[in-house]
Amino acid sequence: MSLRFESLSRHSAEIEKVKELFRTSFPKSEQIPLWFLRMKFKQDFVDFFVFYDDNQFVGFTYLITHQQLTFILYLAIDPSLRSQGYGQKVLAGIKEKYPGNRIVLNIEAVDESSDNYQQRLKRREFYVRNGYINTGLQLIERGALYEVLVDQGEVDLEEYRYLFKKFVGAFLYRFFKPKLYTCKGI
């Protein structure tokens, strides 16, 4: 398995595959409009990567970086290739691309009463196996509760808020502030 990252552009051959994978991998409530994501990835602090194993499309990731903090907004693997080690390879590739950065992401909070409890539990276990720990931060967005995980070090409320504000812009931030609070870790 040889994973290769390429920056996505409007002219990328895989743009339609990325759109379809985006629509099918994330709940509607978690999907930021694609036009907004495309507009933002022109910024120097945003990276939109497609990854390949040789020439086979594997998936994509959308990353936001400020100083030594890189946030994984989206990471998706083609359904036919899941559970084959690609997720682990992508996480390792992100660490290589951002040496010294703390890599942070959100996952749905593991709640035994949720319809997809087993899926949430498996997702958390995957990230823990790959070195991610709970930051002690939780996020409420559109009525859903998320845990904030990081691969090394710590993330505080203010730097997480700043990263989000930088991404959406000061004007939109007034309307879409993340509701963050501290909690006990896993």
1 SS3 class: coil
Q: Is the pLDDT of residue 58 over 90?
A: yes
Tokens in use for 162?
A: 């700043």
- Environment class of residue 3 by beta-carbon count within 10 Å: exposed (0-12), middle (13-18) or buried (19+)? middle
**pLDDT by residue (tens digit) across 125-166?**
999 999 999 988 888 887 788 899 999 888 888 888 888 888
How confident is the model at residue 186, as a pLDDT?
47
Domain architecture of the chain: domains with CATH: 3-182 (3.40.630.30)
Q: Nearest 5°: phi and psi at 24?
A: -95, -15
Q: Does pTM surpass 0.75?
A: yes
**How far is Cα 150 from Cα 154, in angstroms, rounded to an integer?**
7
**How far is Cα 68 from Cα 95, in angstroms, rounded to an integer?**
12
pLDDT band at 184 (very low <50, low <70, confident <90, very high): low
**pLDDT by residue (tens digit) across 18-34?**
999 999 998 888 888 88
**pLDDT by residue (tens digit) across 80-115?**
999 999 999 999 999 999 999 999 999 988 988 888
